Each structure stands twice: as structure tokens, then as C-alpha cells.
């Protein structure tokens, strides 16, 4: 990814800053650690990391997501995560509950949940293996590179997500979407394994 990380590109509105309780956080933390162990979301200079989320209630757009600049690792604390209630794209405001600001790609997660009601988990990483092998694997890819965290990036992903649940943002990273976290993570690991086979 060519652009240096400069922080989030939207306004955060804290609806409440109390902690939330959700048993599914344990599973989300497990996948954060797997992403870390498999180098699916490496840090880079001045860096950001991957962002993983799940939909809180079927068909509604609220989701729990990793906070901004949370380095993925083992045993993340509960307050590493933020509940996103709503995004206003016109004013670029993101409404949240939690103790920190949400991932810089929160607008994109929101737009994808809104576009795909069949999807309940979205994982995003910057695996060099997957980026380098995306053409050989015929992975769907956005047409042009767009800056991270922008409406332009959201629009480029929306062109693809209607027909695909695993795709690459050009020169940036991958997105995996699925009906649950298990399938979302396992599909990512399957694609990663295909990359290893190509390079074996
Ligand atoms: Zn990214």
C-alpha cells in the first residue's frame, strides 16, 4: 500500500462510552489473533493494521469492529473494539459506542453490510501473499487504486461486492465477507493456502 497512514478520515460521534458486552467478541478476538499469526494484517511504517468486524443483529447495520490502530495480537482487551451504530456519508460522521475511535475503514464496513444483508462478518487485511497472487488466482479486484478510508474507496468496493464475497482492493488489501465469522476466516485461510501452493 503506497499511502502513509494519516489517521481516520471521518468525524467520530460518541453516542455513549460505556463498555458493551457481547459473547461473540471471543470469536472475533480469535480471528484477530489468527490474522496476526498468519501475517494477514502486517503493520507497515507509520502503520495501520487489518480490521475485522461482525454484524450485531441480523439485517441491521450495526457492527462491532476493531478500533483504529489496534495492532492485531493475542488476547486483545474488550475495549480494543468499538460498536458502530450508523454512518452518515454526506457529513462523514460515524456514530459509535466504546472507549476509542473505530477502524479507519469503518465507512467501508458499514457500506458493505448495507449492500449485503446476507453477510454477517467482514474481515479486511493487507496480506502481501494474497495481493501478489491475486491475478493468478483470478480474484475479483477493484479497477483503480483509491486512498484508504475514503468515499471513493467505498464506491470502488460497492461495484464488486454485489457479485463477490472475496475481493481485492487494488494495491491495498483483501476483503472477505461471509454469513458468519468462521466462514469468513476459513475462506481467507483457503485463499492464503492457494497462494502458498502457487509459490511452492
Ligand atoms: Zn486497508
Q: What is the pLDDT of residue 48?
A: 47
Rounded distance from Cα 130 to ligand 1 centre (Å): 13
Q: How far apart are CA 74 and CA 72, in angstroms?
A: 7
> What is the mean pLDDT of the segment spanning 129-146?
95
Residue 193 lies in a domain: yes
Residue 4 lies in a domain: no
Residue 106 lies in a domain: yes
From the CA atom positions of the chain, what is the Rg in Å? Answer: 15
Per-residue model confidence as pLDDT tens digits over 81-125? 999 999 999 999 999 999 999 999 999 999 999 999 999 999 999
Total domains, the chain: 1
Q: How confident is the model at residue 47 (pLDDT cuts 50, 70, 90)?
A: very low
Residue 120 lies in a domain: yes
Residue 34 lies in a domain: yes
Rounded distance from Cα 173 to ligand 1 centre (Å): 6
Residue 1 lies in a domain: no
Rounded distance from Cα 70 to ligand 1 centre (Å): 13
Domain span at residue 103?
11-198
Q: What is the pLDDT of residue 2?
A: 55
Give the Å distances, CA to CA, from 21 to 12, 64, 69, 92.
Answer: 21, 11, 22, 27
Rounded distance from Cα 170 to ligand 1 centre (Å): 11
Residue 2 lies in a domain: no
pTM flag (> 0.85): yes
Stronger pLDDT, 2 or 100, i.e. the higher one: 100
CB 177 within 8 A of CB 119: yes
Element holding 30 (H helix, E strand): helix 25-37
> What is the mean pLDDT of the segment spanning 23-42?
93
Q: What is the pLDDT of residue 5?
A: 77
Rounded distance from Cα 195 to ligand 1 centre (Å): 19
Q: For the domain that residue 102 is a member of, what is the CATH number?
A: 3.40.225.10
Q: What percent of the chain has pLDDT over 90?
A: 80
Q: What is the pLDDT of residue 150?
A: 93
Residue 3 lies in a domain: no
CB 87 within 8 A of CB 107: yes
Amino acid at each position: 500500500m503506497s499511502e502513509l497512514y494519516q489517521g481516520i478520515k471521518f468525524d467520530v460521534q460518541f453516542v455513549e462510552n460505556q463498555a458493551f458486552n457481547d459473547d461473540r467478541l471471543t470469536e472475533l478476538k480469535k480471528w484477530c489473533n489468527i490474522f496476526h499469526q498468519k501475517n494477514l494484517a502486517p503493520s507497515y511504517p507509520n502503520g495501520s493494521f487489518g480490521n475485522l468486524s461482525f454484524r450485531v443483529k441480523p439485517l441491521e447495520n450495526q457492527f462491532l469492529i476493531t478500533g483504529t490502530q489496534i495492532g492485531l495480537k493475542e488476547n486483545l482487551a474488550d475495549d480494543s473494539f468499538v460498536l458502530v451504530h450508523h454512518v452518515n456519508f454526506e457529513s462523514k460522521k460515524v456514530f459509535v459506542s466504546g472507549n476509542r475511535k473505530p477502524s479507519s475503514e469503518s465507512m467501508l464496513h458499514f457500506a458493505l453490510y448495507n449492500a449485503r444483508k446476507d453477510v454477517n462478518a467482514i474481515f479486511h487485511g493487507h496480506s502481501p501473499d494474497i495481493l501478489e497472487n491475486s491475478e493468478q488466482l483470478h480474484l475479483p479486484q477493484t479497477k483503480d487504486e483509491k486512498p484508504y478510508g475514503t468515499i471513493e474507496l467505498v464506491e470502488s468496493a460497492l461495484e464488486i461486492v454485489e457479485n463477490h464475497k472475496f475481493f481485492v482492493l487494488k494495491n491495498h488489501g483483501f476483503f472477505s465477507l461471509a454469513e458468519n465469522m468462521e466462514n469468513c476466516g476459513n475462506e481467507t485461510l483457503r485463499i492464503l493456502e492457494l497462494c502458498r501452493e502457487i509459490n511452492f
